[in-house]
């Protein structure tokens, strides 16, 4: 039965038990996912030719295994094929990001001058304190005061180094979800600090823009 | 115009000038990145979901978008996460490409 004609329940039923029906369903799903990846990965890799076909086959193979392992987790809130495409895209982009960034170490990201500036602990400037001057130095100081070292590293890795979250997470010894929550907590701490100081974002951006350092 | 010395002194002068330019470029870049952080801070809400929860809902969310519904009102936390998380947004956009092509 063509993939487009199967209901969610039919997909689940046919995939759930080994046999000819499962084989047919897997073959149809494989074709659907391969076609999907051709659209999904446009902009990431050249989506024609033997090289792409081999790559996409690997991704789809892994996707089918993961789907068979997690059929019980499909909630039916979207079409089964949409759920399957989502899994294939996650698998493919995770691997493509890993390949793209494999030669970039965190040490390299942290050692450049911009990163050093963002990670430094600036000493309090009495004049700045007296003036209560909003400035880059002020932002760096509240970052040093409010955030943990790991939070600042996470921010620098993602924002300055441009690392995808899961690549930054891997290098920082955590996972993508935890990294997002770490950075969210950091943003919240900074927001609350601005609020306590009675500083608005527009005031702060204006102060930074005046080039005070 | 500053007098430029000759020979080794000139090389030293050039090296220092190059270093100053690099430091200045690093400072400008750092300031722009800090401004982005400040702007992201302003957009931060107490209530945000992580990548795992956004991923869980991504298929449903993408289908709503393709149907022309406004999931940002029905699933605002997913929308907010996609606004803040580049990786999840990439995956969402890839899924949209697939759904729109089929």
Kindly list the domain boundaries of chain A, sorted by start residue.
Answer: 3-101, 106-209
A40–B97 CB contact, under 8 Å: yes
pLDDT number for residue B46: 92
Q: CA-to-CA distance for A49 and A32, rounded, in angstroms?
A: 18
Do B57 and B94 lie in one domain? The reply is yes
What tokens does A191 get?
A: 């927001």
B29–A114 CB contact, under 8 Å: yes
Do B57 and B82 lie in one domain? The reply is yes
Counted across chains A and B, CB pairs separated by less than 8 A come out at: 127
Does the structure's ipTM exceed the value 0.90? no
Do B31 and B64 lie in one domain? The reply is no
pLDDT beyond 80 at A212: no
B41–A194 CB contact, under 8 Å: yes
pLDDT number for residue B52: 97
From chain A, the residues in CB contact with B46 under 8 A are 188
Of all residues in chain A, what percent carry a pLDDT higher than 70? 90
Q: CA-to-CA distance for A127 and B61, rounded, in angstroms?
A: 51
Q: Which SS3 state, helix, strand or coil, does residue B48 take?
A: coil
pLDDT beyond 80 at B3: no
Report whether CATH 1.10.1740 matches the domain A3-101: yes
Do residues A186 and A151 touch, judged by C-beta distance below 8 A?
yes
Segment A41-45 long-range contacts (CB within 8 Å, at least 24 positions apart) = A41/A92, A41/A93, A41/A96, A41/B94, A42/B97, A44/A92, A44/A93, A44/A96, A45/A96
Do B61 and B92 lie in one domain? The reply is yes
Do B56 and B95 lie in one domain? The reply is yes
Domain of B33, in residue numbers: 1-42
Do residues A179 and A172 touch, judged by C-beta distance below 8 A?
yes
Of A160, A184, A213, the CB nearest to B33: A160
């Amino acid at each position: 039965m063509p993939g487009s004609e199967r209901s969610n329940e039919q997909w689940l039923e046919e995939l759930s038990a080994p046999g000819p029906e499962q084989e047919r369903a897997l073959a149809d799903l494989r074709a659907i996912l391969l076609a999907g990846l051709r659209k999904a990965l446009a902009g990431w890799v050249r989506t024609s030719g033997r090289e792409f076909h081999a790559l996409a086959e690997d991704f789809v193979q892994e996707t089918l295994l993961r789907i068979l392992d997690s059929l019980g987790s499909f909630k039916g809130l979207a079409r089964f094929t949409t759920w399957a495409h989502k899994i294939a895209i996650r698998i493919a982009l995770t691997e493509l990001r890993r390949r793209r960034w494999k030669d970039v170490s965190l040490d390299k990201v942290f050692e450049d001058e911009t990163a050093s500036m963002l990670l430094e602990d600036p000493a309090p400037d009495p004049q700045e304190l007296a003036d209560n001057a909003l400035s880059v130095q002020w932002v760096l100081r509240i970052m040093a005061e409010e955030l943990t070292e790991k939070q600042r590293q996470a921010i620098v890795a993602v924002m300055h180094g441009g690392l995808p979250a899961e690549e930054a997470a891997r290098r920082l010894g955590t996972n993508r979800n935890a990294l997002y929550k770490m950075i969210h907590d950091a943003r919240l701490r900074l927001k609350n600090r601005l609020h306590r100081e009675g500083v608005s974002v527009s005031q702060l951006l204006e102060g930074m823009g005046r080039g005070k350092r | 115009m500053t007098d430029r010395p000759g020979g080794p002194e000139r090389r030293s002068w050039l090296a220092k000038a190059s270093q100053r330019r690099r430091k200045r470029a690093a400072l400008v870049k750092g300031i722009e990145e800090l401004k982005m952080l400040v702007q992201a801070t302003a957009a931060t809400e107490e209530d945000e979901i992580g990548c795992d929860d956004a991923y869980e809902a991504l298929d449903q969310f993408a289908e709503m978008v393709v149907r022309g519904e406004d999931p940002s009102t029905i699933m605002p936390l997913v929308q907010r996460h996609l606004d803040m998380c580049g990786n999840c947004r990439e995956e969402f956009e890839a899924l949209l490409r697939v759904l729109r092509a089929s």
